[in-house]
A and B are shown apart, each in its own frame.
Chain A
């Protein structure tokens, strides 16, 4: 069975541009969450979507937005890119809403470089 897939794997953008990252969860999983991982740091929670509704948001500016589609895939959008947005963006899926007993399955991430 396919795991969590993210696209693209690498992306280079310039300051002020907009970017869209995509994530396909494991078949049957209804929850997708997004994380930003800056080099040398742990993943930082951005969003969680469950059944196409936003169920949690981390401490990120409004330039970050996301949505979940009827097939449970998800997109993360970042507008007005800043140099500090350069990071590995991880997507994780789980069957139910992220909670104490939900196991998260992570994709390999999208490496975003902002020049």
Chain B
């Protein structure tokens, strides 16, 4: 079945460091890809998305490029802040029987120290 694999966490960085969180997927068709962020005590929020190969999603300094050849959607940010500390979820959405079923990865916790 369809699945999303994320790198194990926690990822611990100092402020202003470069961030990469790896995400790869397995899907039978051509999914849309998403990154969601969950801050402590809050619900998931959509961070960015890409709907076709070579699309780049970006938001709040975060970027991810849909790489069909490597089935990847790695999340990057050039300079992280303490306020970026959260859990990040990679997800895909694919049509199944007339509806779109979202599939999430297990999440990667990011801790940013001052």
Contact = CB atoms under 8 A, between A and B. Distances in A.
Interface of A: 3-4, 33, 35, 40-45, 48, 55-56, 58, 90, 92, 97-109
A53 B44 CA distance: 24
Given A33-B102, A56-B97, 17 more contacts: A3-B43, A4-B43, A40-B107, A41-B107, A42-B106, A43-B104, A48-B99, A56-B99, A90-B43, A92-B44, A100-B51, A100-B100, A101-B51, A103-B46, A106-B36, A107-B43, A109-B43
B79 interface: no
Contacts of B98: 55
B99 A98 contact: yes
A45 B97 CA distance: 15
Given A41-B107, A43-B89, A90-B43, A104 B51 contact: no
Contact of A106 (B45, B51, B100, B105): B45
Interface in B75-114: 89, 91, 93, 95-107
A45 B107 contact: no
A99 B100 contact: yes
A56 B32 contact: no
Given A42-B107, A99-B93, A108 B99 contact: no
B44 to A, nearest CB: 4
A107 B38 CA distance: 11
Contact of A45 (B41, B42, B101): B101
A92 B91 CA distance: 14
Interface string B47-69: 00001000000000000000000
B4 interface: yes
B81 to A, nearest CB: 23
Contacts of B100: 56, 97-100, 102
B24 to A, nearest CB: 14
A43 B99 contact: no
Given A106-B44, A109-B43, A45 B32 contact: no
A41 B106 contact: yes
Question: Which of A43, A97, A102, A109 lies at the interface centre, i.e. has the most chain B CB atoms within 10 A of its CB?
Answer: A43
